[in-house]
A and B are shown apart, each in its own frame.
Chain A
Amino acid sequence: MRLQLILCDMLMLPAERLAAESPHEIIVSDLSASLHVEPLPLRDRIQEHIDRIEAEDHEVDAILLGYGLCGGATAGLVSKRVPLVLPRAHDCVTIFLGSRDRYQLEQESTPGTYWFTEDNVKRGNAFMGALLGSSERSDGVKATYDEYVEKYGKENADYLMEALGEWQQHYSRGAFLETGFAPDDVALERARVETESRGWRFETVLSDMGLIKRLLDGEWNDAFLVVQPGETLVMSYDDDVIKAVPVQAAGT
C-alpha cells in the first residue's frame, strides 16, 4: 500500500524510524505540536493536508493520522476519496504508552502528570503558550510575562502568571517517555530540571511503540478507527473515544 502519514511532531522521532521498517510505502508530513494551544487551527491544518493529499496523490490508499482526539481537535475531519486511519486515543500519550488501558491506569494512579517526550523537549514545545510557569523559568514564559506587563501593568501581569500557572500546584509528577530509539540524555536532563524546578517528582516511563507500529504496518484492528469517505470523525463519549458517522448525521 501507499500510505500518507500526517502526524504531530511529538511523534516524529519514533514514527520516522518505524515508517522505515513498514512493509508499506509511507510518506511522512508533520505539523507542529504548538498548534495544540488552539484546537481549531490544528483541525484546519490537518484538514488542509488531507485535502491537498487527495488532490495531488492519486496513488494513495489511505491517509494515516498520528493523532488522537487531542482535545477535540480531530473531531470533524473528513476525506473525500480515501480512508483516514487513526488510533482510538485521547492524545499522543496513549500512542506512546501503547494502549488506552495503560494510559487510564497511569491517569488514575497519578492524574497530575506532565508528560515529556524527546521531541517536545527538543523542539521547545515542552512548556508552551498556555502552560505558563514562573517568569524565571522556561523559554517563552518570560516573553509572555513582558507582554502582560506592557498590556495590563505589572500588578495584573504578576496576578496572571500566578493564576494561569496555578495548575502546576496540582500536578505531582513529570514523566519522561523513553522510546529506546535514541537515548537522549540532554532531553531527559532538561525534562528533569523542568520537573524538579516545579517541585514535582521525576520519573522515566518506558514507551510501547506497538500502537504506532501497527498503524504504520497496516494492521488496523479494533484499537484503530477507519473513517471512510463520506464519513466524519466525532467523539464517542465512551471507551472507544472516537467513532465515524455519515457527514450528514454529524450536521457538518
Chain B
Amino acid sequence: MADFERLQAAVEAGDRGTAVEITQAAIDEGIPPLEILDPMTEAMGVIGDRFSRQEIFVPEMLISARAMKGAVALLEPLLIGSGHKPDKVAVLGTIKGDLHDIGKNLVAMMLKGANFQIVDLGTNTTAEEFLKAAREHSADVIGCSALLTTTMGNMRDVTAAVAGADDLPDLRVIIGGAPVTLEFALDIGADGWAPDAASAVHVATAVVETARGERDIEGVVHPEALAAVTA
C-alpha cells in the first residue's frame, strides 16, 4: 500500500527521489492519479504557509516544488488519459524591462500544483504579449511580476490594456514581486496582489472563482480577504 504520509513528507523535504519512487509504486498499485496528487498538493500548501510565516525561504520552496514536479511528471500522462485537465488558465510573465524570474517561476510551479494550466511567457513581457496569449489560451488570469522599482510602473500598461479589452470581460490581473505593494496594486487597478508565491495561489484562485461567480470577493485581494478564501 502506497505510503502517502511519506510522499507528503518527501515533497515537503524536497526529496525528489523518494517522491518519484512512491508515486511510481502508487501508480503500479493502480491508485487513481488524482488520489496520488492529493498528498503532494497538501505538501505544497504546508510549504507555502511555512514560507509565508518566514519559517523557510526560497531554496526550500524551490526544492519542494522540484520534488513535486518530478512526481507529477509521472502522473501527467495518466491524468490526460483519464480526461482530467486543469480548470483554470494563468498567463505568467515578468513585466517589460524586468529580467528576474525566480519568483515568477516559483508562482508557476505552485499554480501548476493547484491545478492551473500555465502559459509562461518568460521575462520582459509587454502588455500586448500578455493579451495575445490570454486570448489564444482563453486565460482566466494574467500574473505579472517585477523585481525592480524601475520596471514595476510598466504593470500599469497591462491593467489598462485588460480594462480596455471589451472582448475579455472576465480576464483578471494579479501582480506581485519584491517591491510591489498592495497600495500600488490598488493604484493601477489590479484585481489581485500577493506578497509571496504561496499567497499567489490563493489570490489567483480567489480572483478567478469570483469572476466565475463561484465566490464573492470583490476588489483587490489582500491578506485579510485571503482569510475568507482559505477558511
Contacts and interface: CB of A to CB of B under 8 A. Distances in A.
Interface residues of A, number: 29
Given A69-B149, A163-B105, A112 B99 contact: yes
B157 interface: no
Instruction: Tell me what chain B mostly uses at the interface: helix, strand, loop, or mixed.
Output: helix
Contacts of B148: 71, 90
Nearest to B179: A72
Contacts of B16: 155-156
Contacts of A167: 99-102
Contacts of B98: 111
A161 to B, nearest CB: 10
A115 to B, nearest CB: 12
Most chain A CB atoms below 10 A, which of B14, B17, B99, B149: B149
A152 B149 contact: no
A160 B99 contact: no
A152 B63 contact: yes
Interface in A225-245: 235, 237-238, 241
Contact of A237 (B14, B123, B178, B187): B187
Interface residues of B, number: 30
Contacts of A107: 97, 150-151
A162 B153 CA distance: 29
Contact of A159 (B63, B151, B181): B63
Select the residue from A108, A151, A163 with max chain B CB neighbours within 10 A: A163
A202 interface: no
Interface in B94-124: 97-102, 105, 123-124
B62 interface: yes
A152 B99 contact: no
A139 interface: no
Interface string B147-172: 01111110000000000000000000
A152 B14 contact: yes
B97 A148 contact: no
B66 interface: yes
Nearest to A112: B99
Contacts of B66: 156, 159
Interface in A71-103: 71-72, 90-91, 103
A111 B105 contact: no
A171 interface: yes
A160 B181 contact: no
Contact of B149 (A90, A112, A163): A90
20 contacts: A69-B179, A71-B148, A72-B149, A72-B179, A90-B148, A103-B150, A107-B151, A111-B99, A152-B59, A152-B63, A155-B16, A159-B66, A160-B63, A163-B62, A164-B102, A167-B101, A170-B123, A235-B181, A237-B184, A237-B187
Q: What 10 A-B pairs come out closest when comparing CB atoms?
A: A170-B99, A72-B179, A156-B63, A90-B150, A111-B97, A90-B149, A112-B99, A69-B149, A71-B179, A160-B59
